Structure 1
Amino acid sequence: MPEWLEIALRTLLAVVVLFLMTKLLGKRQVTELSLFEYITGITIGSLAAYVSLELDTNWYLGLVSIAVWVGVSLVMEFLQLKSKTARDILDGKATVLIKDGKIMEDNLKKERLTTDELMEQLRKKSVFKAADVEFAVIEPSGDLNVLLTKENQPLTPKHLGIKVAPEQEPQAVIMDGEIMDEPLATIGLNREWLDTELEKLGVAIENVFLGQVDSYGQLYVDLFDDQIKVPEPQKKAALLATLKKCEADLEMFGLSTKEQKTKRMYEQCSIALEKVIDEVKPLLIR
């Protein structure tokens, strides 16, 4: 067999083996590498290159070495899942860098971080003053997590005492101009409904790059042509406006009648509808 063909076949074999081994090790091997996993990744890559190019020795020995490294990695991951002590030894512990707005200089030196590097990490979190930080910790992965002081935390509906409806995952029902039947079925809709919504927007299915349906059944589309503006769905706003109009009409009817019994009935209905509006308003103003 020609050498170039043998190298090509070995390289394809190495690619397949690397893919299978990576799938076996899991996504964490790619997203959050510990020190040992980083070393494992480099070593397995070097062994794959050996399998591809080394013609003078038994190439299958490289596969044996890769299998051993992967086996050791799986054992390490099993130990980390079962033992907190093993996790602390292999991954390390989180280190507090800022507490009550004060920088912990000793911990900073322990992690071999300079003040400039700390400030850079804070700026990545949109924090420009260390005094604004209540608590900051560097994780074993190297990420810096920050808790701002109460007065510097973003305002949320909970702070204002406003109830907000839960949001479910939007479903992509159109991709690249093609209807996705499975997501449609997941939210209990069909193609007829989708055709009706597209007709309301004045959009043809083949012009839609991406179409998503939120948890309230509203369709949002992004077109291939970015110059065309598509109006956003107004179902919730229209419903809220209708409810408020009904409340106003009931108040007006109550003021316009002279019959006391009828007046009280309108007033009671208006108060009841006002309570309903207060309850559903968080669902309709998102």
Structure 2
Amino acid sequence: MTRSVRTRRPVRLAAAGAVSLLALSACSSSDDSGSAKSDPSASASAPAKVSGDITVFAAASLKESFTALGKEFESAHPGTKVTFSFGGSDSLAASITGGAPADVFASASPKTMKVVTDAGGNATAPATFVRNQLEIATLPGNPDKIASLKDLTNKDLKVVLCDKAVPCGAAAEKALTASKLKLTPVSYEEDVKSALNKVVLKEADAAVVYKTDVKAAGSKVEGVEFPESAGAVNDYPIALLKESRNTGTAEAFIAFVRSAEGQKVLTAAGFLNP
């Protein structure tokens, strides 16, 4: 009899303990669940998913590198699409201030970016992400033996410049003025790609463009460096546009451009570090 009681008592205690533990566990689970639901920071701290389309307005000289960066960005963020509009920075700035829909603006000079930021604060916190330097593009093999900026003043040469309102044209004008040289080109082009193309098509003997454009053209042209270009280096700022309809993805693209991975692509294209 006594043995029977001693045997059953531990069982009853164990059962009671198990019930208590289950009850405590349920309460704890319930409390944690309620805490997670009532804590707004739990969901606020989770990063927003990068998705959707963005439109990037970018200087013509960025065409090759930004096209490559766009593909890499889309690959890293499935469900995104980056559409580019390349052109002269002044024309792009005018389009933005005129109401053209875009999410990001990458300009070839702070001056053209300022046009946008001054127009009702259309762009937010521009940041320089690369710099670019001028170079002379000549016909393959440099048949005219162009070796300096002064050589371009030869009246027998057909030389092309970017329009003075475009950053590459303003930089060329700055270099010529500093050298006290006067050059009358056969044409002023709307952007750097148009100027370079004149040489590629053999419609001009030389053009003052960016090093990056000479590099992108490969064997179609030959580049000639000139020391005066060091005093006319252009900073390239990039900014989120306030009218962006997809700020999360736009900001992610800007961050990607400025990242070590993005800078690697840009420096490989011939751009200088900011």
Common fold by TM > 0.5: no
**TM-score (ref. length: structure 2):** 0.20
Relative contact order higher in (CA < 8 Å, ≥ 6 apart): 2
Structure 1 or 2: more helix by fraction: 1
Structure 1 or 2: more strand by fraction: 2
